[in-house]
Amino acid sequence: MPTVQVKRPVDRARCMLIAELAIEAERYQDVVSEIKKIVFAYNARLTVEERSLLSIAYKNLTNTLRSSWRIVEAVEAQTSVQATKNAKRRRELLLVRQQRHKIENDLLDTCNDIIDLLDRYLLLAAKPGEEAVFYSKMKGDYYRYLAEFGPEKDRKRFGETSLQAYKNAYKRALTTLDALDPTRLGLALNFSVFYHDVYKSPARACHLAKSAFDDAIQSLNPKTTAANPTLRDSLSILQLLRDDLVLWVEEM
């Protein structure tokens, strides 16, 4: 008689315990696997803590690949100069380029994984307001990484998709979130970085960053912010916005 497989419900607390342990151990793919179990079992309704772990995991996975790309790209530039008159260096240059292409494809796979999760599950289930802004910002972020470090032939398309995702997120943020909300400020920070790094427009980057910075400063009120649990996060992002503004103004 065949054995009947009984599908057990996903133990949410167990998944979170493993995910938190995996974060400490820097096993970010394990974090993704555990949070995905919750996404699929609970109709893509994540708590703030679950959402944060998912974000941290993908950020670290892509940060490693982006760092690797920069290193290999620097080696490629150096080898390219030496390869003009050296056959051995030309062979080395081909190998270095192959490694860069491999990193680009690994980044493409990782970014497509989180973008697919966002498009098919998380964004569809998101509540209007902070949650929807958070996920829309994530979509803009990972398309931005592809626009900078993905396969070169697709970078323009990735940049255009990133811009649209950021615009959608920012439109939602302006109408649903307070100017001092850390999710809105984090979006403004990343959106302005997009204009600077991808579209090479310090002017637009400065305009967006300064507008977000000024709106947040104007909304600071000792009576309403004293008990605000996210104030420290907001102030940290404001400092980053200010630092970027100083650098970008110098550029112009």
Rounded Cα gap, residues 116 and 214, in angstroms: 35
Rounded Cα gap, residues 132 and 123, in angstroms: 6
CB–CB of 249/196 below 8 Å? no
Burial degree of 67 (CB within 10 A; 0-12, 13-18, 19+): exposed
59-68 average pLDDT score: 96
Contacts of 133 (CB under 8 A, 6+ apart): 169, 172, 173, 176, 177, 183, 184, 187
pLDDT at 24: 96
Contacts of 243 (CB under 8 A, 6+ apart): none
Share of the chain above pLDDT 90, in %: 80
Q: Virtual CA dihedral for 24, 27, 31, 33, nearest 10 degrees?
A: -160
How far is the CA of 79 from the CAs of 88, 102, 170, in angstroms?
10, 18, 42
pLDDT confidence tier of residue 185, bands split at 50, 70 and 90: very high
pLDDT at 2: 44
Lowest mean pLDDT among 84-93, 129-138, 229-238: 84-93
pLDDT tens, residue by residue, 191-220 = 999 999 999 999 999 999 999 999 999 988
How many Å separate Cα 158 from the centre of its chain? 14
pLDDT at 223: 67
Q: Which of 134, 127, 76, 140 is nearest to 104 (CA)?
A: 76
Residue 226 has pLDDT above 70, yes or no: no
231-239 average pLDDT score: 92
Reported pTM: 0.88
Average pLDDT taken over every residue of the chain: 91
How far is the CA of 183 from the CAs of 59, 191, 206, 210, in angstroms?
16, 12, 19, 16
Sign (positive or negative) of CA dihedral 29, 35, 38, 40: negative
Residue 182 has pLDDT above 80, yes or no: yes
144-164 average pLDDT score: 95
CB–CB of 53/64 below 8 Å? no
Sign (positive or negative) of CA dihedral 115, 120, 123, 126: negative
pLDDT confidence tier of residue 6, bands split at 50, 70 and 90: very low
6-25 average pLDDT score: 87
Architecture of domain 11-128: Up-down Bundle (1.20)
Rounded Cα gap, residues 157 and 163, in angstroms: 10
pLDDT at 18: 97
Amino acid at 76: E
DSSP helix/strand/coil, 189: helix
pLDDT at 224: 61
pLDDT tens, residue by residue, 93-142 = 899 999 999 999 999 999 999 999 999 999 999 999 999 999 999 999 99
Share of the chain above pLDDT 70, in %: 94
pLDDT at 193: 96
Kindly list the domain boundaries of the chain, sorted by start residue: 11-128
pLDDT at 8: 56
pLDDT at 72: 93
Amino acid at 221: N
Burial degree of 45 (CB within 10 A; 0-12, 13-18, 19+): middle
